[in-house]
Structure 1
Amino acid sequence: MPAPGGARLPARTPRRGTAPPDAAPGHDGCRAAAGRHRPPVIAGSIVICTHNRAGLLARSVRTALDEARTCDAEVVVVDNASTDDTATVLPTLRERDDPLRVVYEPRLGLSAARNCGLAEVRSTVAVFLDDDAVPRPGWLAAHLKLYTAPAVACVGGRIVVQLPAARPPWLTPPLEKALTAYDLGAPTRRYDPGDEYPCGANLSYRVSTAQALGGFSLLVGPRGRRLLQHDDTDLCCRIERAGGEMIYAHEAVVDHHVLPERLVPGWFLAHHWEHGQSAAVFHLRNFELRRALGRLRWHYRPHILRVPYVPRDPVDPARLLAECRRREALGYLVGVLRGLPRRHALRRDMAAPVGGLAP
């Protein structure tokens, strides 16, 4: 496929996982397309990647199916090496004639699961939905209609946070961003190049473009209990460099249901530490070394020098926010120090086949 912007993107062969020996009925497994019949292309594909969240799947899968039925689309659930009841629960969510498929990805990590989803979809557009998110009516159509423009390679939508309990007094709007609150306001518009990127809980890609640019790198993104990030931003950055257009769709809305265990100060501290490390890898991969080090000096240095704060009841909102920013800055520093010796390896998969380099 010609890349958005005119450049011809190289064809790539997706790398897939394999089905587990004890795969449940309907657990197809992520496998190579060679020698396998591909059904006709459909309008769109909703991809839900999940790991050990069997109790959450019914809500997200059923609402995704409601959206799929309105658009001649399918739902592909990627079971990412789950060890809970996910393999048992998923077949029970499929009713007769439901456009639902389940595949298994044994390599732990959201990037591996998303690459599996890209490889398995039967449409030209893959719309990713988190397993703890619920789309509002019209969400899928709002994504798909923007791909009628050939230059569009990625679409991001609005995310509304839904808390499981009363808002803690220390949860200020800046901290709420860690819970994936995301709203750029109306109307639908292009993202500002180099300054704005979609959020992974509600975004879509033109499949051929995403695969040709290497898919999601295994060097970034959540992996099990690790809260690493920037897998989606990393791919968006490559799309941007290739000349692809990225659109913010204000009408494409999902509700992101926050897990109760995240409404504690300790989770936010850990999140910001991991965010800093992820940001370091992202900058070392995608930008000149001078820019990555400059961000450490000009953006993070003032936060590193702050006095540490250990949250205790009653939690001081301002000091908690300052400590989160300090943890993020320290995480970035550690990420840069760890990443510098292997910077060339970090950048080696920038044009690699789907899956990239294993860490």
Structure 2
Amino acid sequence: MFDPSGSLTLSVVVCTYNRSDILGSCLQSLAAQKAEPEKFEVVVVDNNSTDRTFEIATSFAEQFRNFRVISEPKQGLSNARNRGWLEARGDYVAYIDDDAIAYEGWVSAICDFVGRRPEVGVFGGPFDGFYLSDPPGWFPPEYGSLDMGSEERPIAIGKEWIIGLNMVFRKELLPRFGGFSDKLGMNGTTTAFGEEINLFLLMHEGGEQIFYVPSVRVRHLVRPEKTSLFYLISAGYLSGRNHGLTFRVERSLREILASLLFTGVKGVLLFGTAWRRPFKRTLYYALSPLAGELGALMEYCSDRRSRKAVQ
């Protein structure tokens, strides 16, 4: 029998907001894990959903003894993730997005890795993108997937990252480093990014190695709204909009403008090889980094206005 008061190896946290149409697939994949239910629990954090999310999550909790549902009233993915680890009973906390599907050996792979490498407190793995319908022909084939090879290794912080939809922490590290910043990340229907990178950097600077573990693999839905050029360029802009806060760096106006110019020139040069790929894909490759630098410029201007306002 599942003992909720006992010591668990793993707590799997699924944070969700108004995703009743796809949440069931994620939870079903967790219910179908090959690992014994006594080794892990699933904590679904409902972040103020107004659709059938709570009903669907509760139906799984009624069917499977190692499932629980928690309501987090403070809006924002970071708040939901923090509530998840606060509620977790496991020694490790794994996060999987509500639009992801775990392969049936996912939990076992996590437990195997922590058994072999207990000194590693932060790790994540690859994911395979999938679609509900065929994406446009121009759509970048690498988007929505991550694969950094077949070797277990520390990642090169600053050059590569594991992604928040498939990440694992030793639980005691999360309160030590303050959890996820509620100034970053998705907030209801407002798109934003950066909260996991911000935390990874803090942990890395605190002496923790962050590992890539290829066996810890999931599938990730590339939702239809993400297959438009407008969405991709907007995502680049929003990533840049939080660049300073995410990376805890303060670039001068001269540095931002120089980077903006350099990125623009690189984008123009891409059109010299545009014949190699669909034109809209070239537009994405050229404009997304440029939009990121424009976002960083807007962040800089907004920060300066805020400083003047308090003087």
Q: Shorter chain as normaliser: what TM range? A: 0.7 to 0.9
TM-score by length of 1: 0.75
Deviation at 1:340, TM superposition (A): 5.1
Structure that is richer in helix per residue: 2
1:59 pairs with one of 12, 18, 25: 25
> 2:124 aligns to what SS in structure 1?
strand
Amino acid at match of 1:110: L
2:66 pairs with one of 86, 96, 99: 99
**RMSD between aligned alpha carbons?**
2.5
> 1:250 aligns to what SS in structure 2?
coil
TM-score by length of 2: 0.86
Change (3 A) 1:282 1:293: farther
Quote the Cα distance in structure 2 between the aligned partners of 1:197 and 1:249. 12
Deviation at 1:187, TM superposition (A): 1.2
Deviation at 1:142, TM superposition (A): 2.0
Match of 1:43 in 2: 9
Match of 1:282 in 2: 246
Match of 1:142 in 2: 109
2:87 pairs with one of 98, 114, 120: 120
Q: How does 1:200-211 map to 2 (within 5 A)?
A: 200-211=164-175
Any unmatched runs of 5+ in structure 1?
A: 1-37, 308-313, 344-359
> 1:93 aligns to what SS in structure 2?
helix
How many equivalent pairs are there? 293
1:337 pairs with one of 276, 287, 301: 301
Provide Cα deviations, 1:238-273, integer angstroms capped at 9, x if missing partner. 110111121101111111012122222221122111
Amino acid at match of 2:261: R
2:133 pairs with one of 165, 169, 173: 165
Quote the Cα distance in structure 1 between the aligned partners of 2:261 and 2:138. 25
2:282 pairs with one of 291, 294, 318: 318
Change (3 A) 1:113 1:172: same
Change (3 A) 1:342 1:127: farther
Quote the Cα distance in structure 1 between the aligned partners of 2:118 and 2:110. 14
| Cα contact 1:171–1:317 (8 A) shared by 2 | yes
Amino acid at match of 2:231: W
1:219 aligns with 2:187: no
| Cα contact 2:96–2:167 (8 A) shared by 1 | yes
> 1:252 aligns to what SS in structure 2?
coil
1:153 aligns with 2:121: yes
Q: How does 1:163-202 map to 2 (within 5 A)?
A: 163-173=131-141, 176-177=142-143, 179=144, 181-202=145-166
Provide Cα deviations, 1:39-65, integer angstroms capped at 9, x if missing partner. 122111110000000111111011112
| Cα contact 1:220–1:231 (8 A) shared by 2 | yes
Provide Cα deviations, 1:60-85, integer angstroms capped at 9, x if missing partner. 01111222743610000000111112
Amino acid at match of 1:65: A
Change (3 A) 1:84 1:257: same
Amino acid at match of 1:55: D
Moved more, 228-237 or 158-167: 158-167
Match of 1:27 in 2: none
Quote the Cα distance in structure 2 between the aligned partners of 1:211 and 1:144. 21
Quote the Cα distance in structure 2 between the aligned partners of 1:333 and 1:144. 43
Any unmatched runs of 5+ in structure 2?
A: 269-277
Quote the Cα distance in structure 1 between the aligned partners of 2:233 and 2:157. 30
Deviation at 1:88, TM superposition (A): 2.0
Deviation at 1:113, TM superposition (A): 0.3
Quote the Cα distance in structure 2 between the aligned partners of 1:202 and 1:46. 10
Match of 1:111 in 2: 78
Moved more, 99-108 or 138-147: 138-147
